[in-house]
Structure 1
Amino acid sequence: MANAGILAAVAGLAAAALLGLLAGALLAEGALLVPYWRTLPPEQFYALHPTWGPRLYRFYAPLTIATPLAALLSALVAGVVGVGGGRLLAACAAALLALALVACYGLYFRRANDEFARCAVPPGELAAALARWAAWHRARVVIAILAFACSLLAL
């Protein structure tokens, strides 16, 4: 039984570490990159996107996949091991919020990022499209921070 407790602790720490990393990375992107993108003229934004879009994707894709998997594993192990009710609830909340981050990508970001990559947003509409992107991103940051907080409570 002691090994099961160690497994639950390791799974919980992994989930918290990944959620913290993802939340911090999203927060930094929202505070540093998004405001910069919004200052660029459309030609310059579209000129930079082929370089930076794929780099950001290569950074965020593995993290966005690993994080919910770790959170789900943590919640599953906590449930199997019989971690206390409040901690189990927090682990489950962290997992659901982490899945919500994936849902945000599927509902909005995949299409929006693809439109930017194809230069499909007309220059006159780019400012509004980037404002929408920024609003969705702020929601994603809040979800990530809440998931991270729940993962810490689960510990």
Structure 2
Amino acid sequence: MSPLQRTPAGSARPVALLSAVLVGLLAGGMLLIEVVLLPFWRSVPPEEFRRWFTANAPRIRALMVPLGAAAGTVSVATAVSEASGSRRPGPASLTAAAATLGVVAVTVAVNEPANARFTGGALTDTGTRDLLGTWARWHHLRVALGIVAAVAAAWALGRRP
């Protein structure tokens, strides 16, 4: 059966495929930030980091925020579509949805407010270093949740008829 064909439960398979793709892209984007941008940010003086971040954060945000919102929405839709079919949502779909929503929650509660402070112009160099350390710790959690979500979404897709 093609990944885009309907299952007897309706359109659950295409939604699961879209979930796996979007969650995978989200995890990949966060991993890129983890292994490329975060080491760069930590390597430059705080004033230079704030300048770079102020100039470039809007482009990162313009990609990552809609991607996170879409991944969260579609991963939840996958679990819901399973629940509306002939079976209960599987543990993989529920894990993918929960982990993706965890990424969104950490982003909204911690990382986005920190991003606003980085660009607000009121941080000292020490304040910038401290806040970047906090931002990084929470980002590590987002990366871990994103990887869990991507693996679970792929697993859920692979287990569909």
TM-score (norm 2): 0.87
Matched to 1:125, the amino acid is G
Matched to 2:22, the amino acid is L
Partner in structure 2 of residue 56 of structure 1: 60
Q: How many residues align?
A: 152
Moved more, 74-83 or 137-146: 74-83
Gaps of 5+ in 2: 1-5
Distance 1:82 1:121, change over 3 A: farther
TM-score (norm 1): 0.90
Matched to 2:17, the amino acid is L
Counterpart of 1:124 (choices 123, 126, 133) is: 126
Root mean square deviation of aligned Cα: 1.6
Moved more, 120-129 or 32-41: 120-129
Note if 1:10 corresponds to 2:14. yes
Contact 1:15–1:74 (8 Å) recurs in 2: yes
Contact 1:121–1:129 (8 Å) recurs in 2: no
Cα distance in 2, alignment partners of residues 98 and 47 from structure 1 = 30
Cα distance in 1, alignment partners of residues 23 and 127 from structure 2 = 34
Per-residue deviation, 1:122 = 1.1
Gaps of 5+ in 1: none
Note if 1:23 corresponds to 2:32. no
Percent identity between the two aligned chains:
30
Cα distance in 2, alignment partners of residues 114 and 82 from structure 1 = 45
Per-residue deviation, 1:126 = 1.8
Per-residue deviation, 1:146 = 0.5
Cα distance in 1, alignment partners of residues 74 and 114 from structure 2 = 27
Cα distance in 1, alignment partners of residues 107 and 13 from structure 2 = 29
Greater RCO (CA < 8 Å, at least 6 residues apart): 1
Per-residue deviation, 1:128 = 2.2
Greater fraction helix: 1
